[in-house]
Amino acid sequence: MEEVKLLGKIKKKFRKGVEAQAKEDIIEVKVELPRLLELLAWLKSKNFNYFSFLTAVDRKTHFELFYHLVNIESGEKVLVRTEVEREDSTVPSVVSLWKGADWQERETYDLFGVTFEGNPSLKRILLPEDWEGFPLRKDYEDPDVVRRPEYF
Amino acid sequence: MNTYLAITLWGAGTFLFIALFVLVLEYIEMKLAGHIQHRIAFLHTGWHGVLQPIADMIKFLSKEHLTPRKVSRFIYLCAPFVSMIPPYLAFLVLPLLPGVVALRWDLALLYVMAVPSLAVLGPLMAGWGSNNKYSLMGGLRAVTQIVSYEIPRLLAVVSVIVLAGSLDFEKIVKAQNIPYLIWLPFGFLVFFIASLMEINRIPFDLAEDESTLIMGFHTEYAGIRWGLFMMAEYAHLILAAFLATYLFLSGWRGPWIPDIIWLFIKVFGLIFVMIWVRWTFPRFRPDQMMDFAWKVLFPLSIINFIWAVIAAVVI
Amino acid sequence: MSVETREFLLNMGPQHPSTHGVLRLILKLDDELVLEAEPVIGYLHRGVEKIAENRTYKQFIPHTDRMDYLSSMLNNWGYIRAVEKLAGIEVPERAEYIRVIVGELNRIASHLMSIGPTGLDAGAFTLFLYAFRERERILTILEKACGARMTYAYFRFGGVAQDLTSDFINACREFLKDFPQRVNEYEELFIENPIFKKRAKGVGILPKELALSCGASGPVLRGSGVSRDLRKTESYSVYSQFDFEIPVGESGDSWDRTWVRLEEMRQSTKIIEQALENLPEGPCFNPDVPRLLMPPPGEAYAAVESPRGEQGYFVVSDGSYKPYRVKVRSPAFSNLSLLPHLLPGHQLADVPIILGSLDPVFGEVDR
């Protein structure tokens, strides 16, 4: 199967710092931050030219970034995940590889505060420019927000 | 009677006639638009909305005159009048009923071609004086558009003059034993399309391009000031319909039915077609419209003119 | 004396008749030519992803309706698919057929709402009202299914909320009888209209590489010649049992994108006819799904083909009754990121046409 071949290629090329496994219809690759750009550039060269989305999840001690890429011709999908520090986190930007990463990185910066080094215009996109704080973090406090009571 | 008094009365009468016609035209256009779009427009004011234009007039007259800050006051305030008065002046020499005309003049057609063109200043003044980038763009587009249509239209009219041998409307109508539509089909087409361009109607209404320019050059006008622009547009429309009828469709002449009814059938027929076209087609882009005027209409009108000259010599 | 020309900034502000919603476009113009375009979005941001972290899984379903409010059924479907994948829930066949029927009806309604305003922007008012006439009929039919006309919340985990009545099925068949004629009418009146062809052909040409690089999907991507439709590539639900085609454009200009939408309406009609004929009997939801769903910890991503493109939901669960994180992969957001690359070099009058052919819905762009 295509997935297994790709899995094999990844394992061969990136021995250290990368773990890959094939789930139902997608290949998940866990990579460490220093090798992230290398892995993504390698995937782009393997024809993964469709940049689906980039998002972050706040795991309380660190952030986890997810990149979802698709190879249109073969239909393979790859989910790249990496862990990033919460404070002062800088991640290399992939705008040079995929143009669509521009807005997705701005959104992740806007909502989480992850800085992308190399993004030409890293400013807030969804929230007003003068907003303070990063709302999607788990420890975000806003005096205007009313907490619902926990029911269960 | 004192000639000045006579002229004033005639003038006022013409103005009232046209003003009434404009109100009727507004009703017709909105009703027709409704039926084309598969809905019924106006039902409640009077029987099937007959009193709606009067209600609209009252609405326009009673709206607040919001003047934006920093407009060039004189230009801003004069623009609606500059837009409205020229077409009304043109009606003074046009026989509105067979044989009934305010001012009989041998150079009537020349006057009717020249004076309404002054109305190009209206959108330009409105666009500049409104202190609004959208209005400015609308005004600029209007000027380029009007300049483009002038020549083909003029050539089409000149071809009629060559065949009829006169600039007076009654003589032109008398000369049409067969309507000039048959002799000069391209001329009629060129004249009709160029008239649509003049009055800023779809498919050529980029000066008031609602989607890009909000209301184009009349964005900043409210109430009766906007009403004056609308009256100007409708007056141009009526003028174009009358001119086309006199020049190409043999005016009020026709068998069996009395002249005046023929006149109104023809005029309203053309108005119906203009309204129909407005609600059916999308609009042109400015540069495509200019292309069309210079590369299609202009050559066509020249061919038409040469054909008219040949026909005049032969007949 | 020489005449100096200057470039100026035109702000097609958040309130504008033709920006299809709240979009602010800052255009740098040189007379009528666009030199640079910068879209500013976020006017409709409601923090939906944060809200998801404070609702139960079921309580979040109405929130998904309100993102791409023109195709609510398909939004519901994306989210439900993701959670069903995470929790391993099975869906009975009748429910899948019902989902396909209402999903495709919603797709037709959404495409009508896209072609209509494109006509309005181009100046053809009548087409806009005709499209709305058809859309009214569809919304009335969908009201028979679930009681709501626009934001349905009809889908549930493991099926749909309630079964289809015979009233719905008859109304649907009636509608499908004369809808193909109307589509032909729109084609003749508008798509094949020489004036619209002049306005839209060659305008906003989207090269394939740029489309893929920006993550464009749906009619925007298919207009550029890439034949990618999730209903065929992933064949989720029961789409593999239907016979339909994917219209693909050739040159990637605005006309192609609008034409692709028109053709998709025809294909959707085919799918609904087939689905209505072969509708199986059975339950319309899975009775084993607990009332309070607590999926096992993990992540799942599932996408559906919405009228705007690939709408995906990335759901992260930590085992509790609330989702830990829901990320909405919005197709209109990715499509809109094409604007700064597409607009320069075009005239100001082309901007509404290009924007209309990209068909953004700002509920989804801003979330």
Per-residue pLDDT, averaged over C46-68, amounts to 89
How far is A38 from A14, CA to CA, in rounded Å? Answer: 9
Res A132 pLDDT > 70: yes
Cβ <8 Å between C213 and A100: yes
CATH at C76: 1.10.645.10
- Give the per-residue pLDDT at B88: 84
Among C residues 137-156, those touching chain B with beta carbons less than 8 Å apart: none
The position carrying tokens 């063109």 is B117
Residues C356-365 have pLDDT tens digits of: 888 888 888 9
Q: Does some domain include residue C30?
A: no
Q: Does some domain include residue C28?
A: no
Select the more confidently predicted residue: B110 or B199. Answer: B110
Residues C6-24 have pLDDT tens digits of: 778 888 878 776 667 788 8
Q: Does some domain include residue C47?
A: no
C46 touches chain A (CB under 8 A): no
- Confidence label for C3 from pLDDT (cuts 50, 70 and 90): low
Cβ <8 Å between C329 and A50: no
B260 burial (CB, 10 Å; 0-12 / 13-18 / 19+) is middle
Q: For chain A, how are helix, strand and coil distributed in percent, rounded to 5?
A: 25, 25, 50
Q: Does some domain include residue C20?
A: no
Contacts of C146 (CB under 8 A, 6+ apart): C152, C153, C154, C161, C162
The predicted model scores a pTM of 0.87
H/E stretch holding A79 reads strand A77-84
How far is C7 from C34, CA to CA, in rounded Å? Answer: 10
Q: Which residue in B has a C-alpha nearest to residue C15's C-alpha?
A: B214
Query: Helix count (H) and strand count (E) of chain C?
Result: 15, 8
Say which range, A5-19, B230-244, B261-275, has the weakest mean pLDDT.
A5-19
| C34 CB-side CA count, 13 A | 26
Q: What are phi and psi of B157, to 5 degrees?
A: -70, -40
CA angle (B12, B16, B19) in 5-degree steps: 135
- Give the per-residue pLDDT at A17: 65
A4 burial (CB, 10 Å; 0-12 / 13-18 / 19+) is exposed
C132 touches chain A (CB under 8 A): no
Q: Is C241 left (phi over 0), alpha (psi -120 to 50) or beta?
A: alpha
How far is B53 from B193, CA to CA, in rounded Å? Answer: 28
Interface partners of chain A (CB pairs < 8 Å, 3 or more) are C
CA angle (C361, C363, C367) in 5-degree steps: 130
What sign does the CA torsion over B29, B81, B216, C345 have? positive
Q: How many other C-beta atoms lie within 10 A of the C-beta of residue B30?
A: 17
Q: Which domain holds residue C333?
A: 56-366
Residues B68-93 have pLDDT tens digits of: 787 778 888 888 888 888 888 888 88
Q: Does some domain include residue C136?
A: yes
How far is A130 from A127, CA to CA, in rounded Å? Answer: 8
Cβ <8 Å between C213 and A111: no
Q: Does some domain include residue C2?
A: no
Distance between C86 CA and the closest CA of chain B, angstroms = 45
C26 and C9 in contact (C-beta within 8 Å)?
yes
Residues A84-100 have pLDDT tens digits of: 888 877 888 888 888 88
Helix ranges restricted to H, A1-152: 2-13, 36-45, 101-112
C143 burial (CB, 10 Å; 0-12 / 13-18 / 19+) is middle
Q: Does some domain include residue C43?
A: no
Give the strand pairing for C155-156 and C33-40.
unpaired
Start-to-end C-alpha separation, chain A:
45
Nearest CA to C58 out of C181, C153, C180 is that of: C153
> Do B and A have ≥3 inter-chain CB pairs under 8 A?
no
Residues B118-143 have pLDDT tens digits of: 888 888 888 888 777 777 777 777 78
Q: Does some domain include residue C270?
A: yes
Cβ <8 Å between C198 and B284: yes
Nearest CA to B175 out of B165, B184, B185 is that of: B165
| Domain definitions of chain A by residue range | 2-91
How far is C142 from C72, CA to CA, in rounded Å? Answer: 11
Res B213 pLDDT > 60: no
Nearest CA to C272 out of C47, C38, C108 is that of: C108
Q: Report CA dihedral (C293, C297, C301, C302) to the nearest 10 degrees.
A: -30
- Give the per-residue pLDDT at A16: 66
> Do A and C have ≥3 inter-chain CB pairs under 8 A?
yes
For domain A2-91, the CATH architecture is 2-Layer Sandwich (3.30)
Note the ipTM here. 0.88
B139 and B123 in contact (C-beta within 8 Å)?
yes
Domain count, chain C: 1
**DSSP secondary structure, C228-289, as one string:** --HHHHT--TTGGGS-------SS-SHHHHHHHHHHHHHHHHHHHHHHHHTPPPS-SB-TTS
Instruction: Supply the angle between the helices B73-90 and B121-129 in degrees, to the nearest 10.
Output: 160
Residues B97-113 have pLDDT tens digits of: 766 777 777 788 888 88
